């Protein structure tokens, strides 16, 4: 059996509003079969707070100084910012399983596998969506699905400044403690940069491997931010 193709696009730092429009466009193109295979956008956002469909305003404690977006994903409030790896899978679930619970659990498992590769024991927390390690939350997940095509996705804290989470009640869970790969003693990279051997690049490699194992996909890597943004601006999908 031929493995499903997953094109992985490393897009660098992308403002949240641009990334939101981009993934909506790609999801619609996938629904209309103008894109022949699934995609995984991997990127980073400038500081931003997003509120999902189930968000409560009182969970935003200190909004000053960051943009706020109300979006269609599930879940409550979350923070995105530097040092956090954000992944937006654009996946047609008709090629897998038309079951949102299966998709959420599979996303969690892909991240659990990635963290195990990085030497961090990770697990689910019954009753909650996301990934945890030793009682602390390290990855958040919120999705949207239209005609069985997904967008939105996950946020994995790599070297994130965790003080930013003091702005909100993360995911609407009172008392939750957020953590990061760096804080949990993940593999030592070459500083906080994003060059070869860095913790950031090791995390990207582990996440791609986690998707490969868990979803049974054949990843095709596109790591050119300029090509990715050119595709977004042109509105035309083509291989770089």
Q: Choose, from 40, 111, 114, 171, the residue flagged as catalytic.
A: 171
Place of tokens 């990061």: 180
> What is the reported pLDDT for 186?
83
> What is the reported pLDDT for 230?
45
- State phi, psi for 133 to the nearest 5 degrees: -140, 120
Q: Please, which residues bridge with residue 237 across strands?
A: none
**75 backbone φψ class: left, alpha, beta (φ>0; ψ -120 to 50):** left
Contact present, 154 and 41 (Cβ < 8 Å): no
Contact present, 73 and 143 (Cβ < 8 Å): yes
H/E run at residue 105: helix 100-117
Residue (of 110, 30, 26, 23) closest to 72 by Cα position: 23
> What is the reported pLDDT for 145?
98
- pTM > 0.85: yes or no: yes
d(CA 105, CA 108): 5
Helices 16-31/225-234 angle, 10° precision: 70
Q: What secondary structure does DSSP assign to 113-168, as a single string?
A: HHHHHTT---B--TTS-SEEETTEEEEEEEEEEETTEEEEEEEEESS--GGGGGGB
Task: Let me know if 56 is exposed, middle or buried by CB neighbors in 10 A (0-12, 13-18, 19+).
Answer: exposed
Triad 67, 179, 188: Cα angle to 5°: 110
Place of tokens 């790599």: 158
**171 has catalytic annotation:** yes
Residue (of 97, 181, 88, 61) closest to 131 by Cα position: 181
11-42 burial, b if ≥16 CB within 10 A, otherwise e?
beebebeebbebbbbbbbbbeeeebebbbbbb
Per-block mean pLDDT, blocks of 10 residues, the chain (240 long): 84 96 96 96 97 94 92 95 98 97 98 97 95 97 98 98 95 95 82 76 97 97 60 44
Q: Which two tokens stand for residue 223?
A: 């790591």
Task: Let me know if 89 is exposed, middle or buried by CB neighbors in 10 A (0-12, 13-18, 19+).
Answer: buried
Contact present, 75 and 54 (Cβ < 8 Å): yes
> What is the reported pLDDT for 191?
56
């Amino acid at each position: 059996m031929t493995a499903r193709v997953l094109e992985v696009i490393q897009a660098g730092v992308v403002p949240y509003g641009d990334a939101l429009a981009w993934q909506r466009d790609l999801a619609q193109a996938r629904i209309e079969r103008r894109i022949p295979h699934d995609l995984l956008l991997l990127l980073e956002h400038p500081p931003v707070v997003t509120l999902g469909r189930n968000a409560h305003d009182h969970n935003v404690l200190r909004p000053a100084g960051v943009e706020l977006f109300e979006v269609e994903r599930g879940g409550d409030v979350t923070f995105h910012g530097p040092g956090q790896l954000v992944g937006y899978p654009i996946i047609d679930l008709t090629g897998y399983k038309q079951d949102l619970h299966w998709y959420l659990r599979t996303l969690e498992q892909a991240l659990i596998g990635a963290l195990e590769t990085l030497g961090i024991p990770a697990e689910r927390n019954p009753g909650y969506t996301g990934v945890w390690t030793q009682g602390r939350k390290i990855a958040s997940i919120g999705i949207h699905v239209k005609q069985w095509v997904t967008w939105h996705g996950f946020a994995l804290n790599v070297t994130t400044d965790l003080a930013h989470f003091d702005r909100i009640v993360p995911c609407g869970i009172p008392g939750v403690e957020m953590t990061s790969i760096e804080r949990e003693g993940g593999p030592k990279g070459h500083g906080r940069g994003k060059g070869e051997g860095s913790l950031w690049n090791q995390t990207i490699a582990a996440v791609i491997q986690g998707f490969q194992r868990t979803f049974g996909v054949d990843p095709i890597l596109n790591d050119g931010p300029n090509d990715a943004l050119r595709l977004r601006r042109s509105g035309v999908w083509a291989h770089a």
